[in-house]
Amino acid sequence: MRTTTTVANKEEKSVSLKATLWITGISLGYLLLSYLLIGFKVDQLLLVGLFTSLYYLSPTTRKFALGFTIFGIFWILYDYMKAFPNYWFNPVHIQDLYEAEKALFGITYGGARLTPNEFWLQHHNTVLDVLSGIFYLCWVPVPMGFAAYLFFRDRTQFTYFSLTFLLVNLLGFVAYYLYPAAPPWYVQLHGFEFIPKTPGNMAGLVHFDAFFQIDLFRGMYAKGSNVFAAMPSLHSAYPLIVVYYGVKNRLKVAREIFGIIAVGIWFAAVYTSHHYILDVLFGILFATAAIALFNYLMARRGPTYRAVQRFINAIE
């Protein structure tokens, strides 16, 4: 009995030759394709290095690496958007979106009608600058940290959360190509003229960097995939998905901390001129749609459900 158990443990800890060949082939294929599409970046090596290290380290880290491939798919697709700018396929919406925002949510100040972004541009203060920067930094760590928590608590809920996160991104990416849209800061800097290959801009977040005398947001937005991808605001979608799965898993912190973070990100998106209120509302709508669609697919217990169950079994 002990011999059988020992052999089983050794088999679990070891990685088969077939799996090694697959991992090596996929990693090299990803690096080659990335080089051809968008050029070489250190981030690509870091992604491959992190995944392979976790995969070979131990059975637990191997399952962790497999589980988080869902987030890896999101990152790769987002990165590859640089190779196919959405303005190649449809005209960019600049003035019409600006005018719609002003008509629906405009603020009359000083005898002029301003968008909320323009209002806050004139009335920013240090406290809101710092708070907005802190909230905006949460859009990646909070979903990733929550996913890691669910991985060790409940693999099924981890998978459901991760796939819903991926689904809202896929829906958002489709929207970016169907409806390319300029962010508010673009209008502030360039007016209504369309300028291809416009570099990313940290807009109102410049005050956060200036306060702490760092180049945090400058570096982040220099790596952006597409300036004309403001509608919907996926920054606004992510925290709602975290709140939903937090409540679903009966975490008391979901109603308080996650809720505050969500509202903070929504406000910061507008305050820093990265998104219109319309972008935020559509981000919330897309998150709601992704949650509803994923729950519908799971409730049907069809091919998608069975594929998800196989994935869960692989990381259990």
Question: What pLDDT score was predicted for residue 225?
Answer: 62
- Backbone φ, ψ for residue 157 (5° rounding): -65, -35
The boundaries of the domain holding residue 12 are 1-67
Rounded Cα distance between 104 and 146, Å, is 35
- Indicate if 43 and 136 belong to the same structural domain: no
Beta bridge partners of 112: 109
Does 138 reside within a domain? Answer: yes
Whole-number pLDDT of residue 6: 41
| 47 and 150 assigned to the same domain | no
pLDDT tens digit sequence for 146-181:
999 999 999 999 999 999 999 999 999 999 999 999
In tens, the pLDDT along 254-313 reads 778 999 999 999 999 999 999 999 999 999 999 999 999 999 999 999 999 999 999 999
According to the model, what pLDDT value does residue 254 have? 76
Q: At 7, is the pLDDT very low, low, confident or very high (cuts 50, 70, 90)?
A: very low
Residues 149 and 13 in one domain: no
14 with 160, same domain? no
Tell me which of 67, 100, 122 is where a domain ends: 67
Same domain, yes or no: 277 and 244? yes
Let me know whether 120 and 6 are in one domain.
Answer: no
Residue 78 maps to a domain:
no
User: Do 11 and 143 have their domain in common?
Assistant: no
- Residues 20-51: pLDDT tens digits? 999 999 999 999 999 999 998 888 999 999 99
Q: How many domains does the chain have?
A: 2
Do 100 and 204 share a domain, yes or no? yes
Domain membership of residue 292 (yes or no) is yes
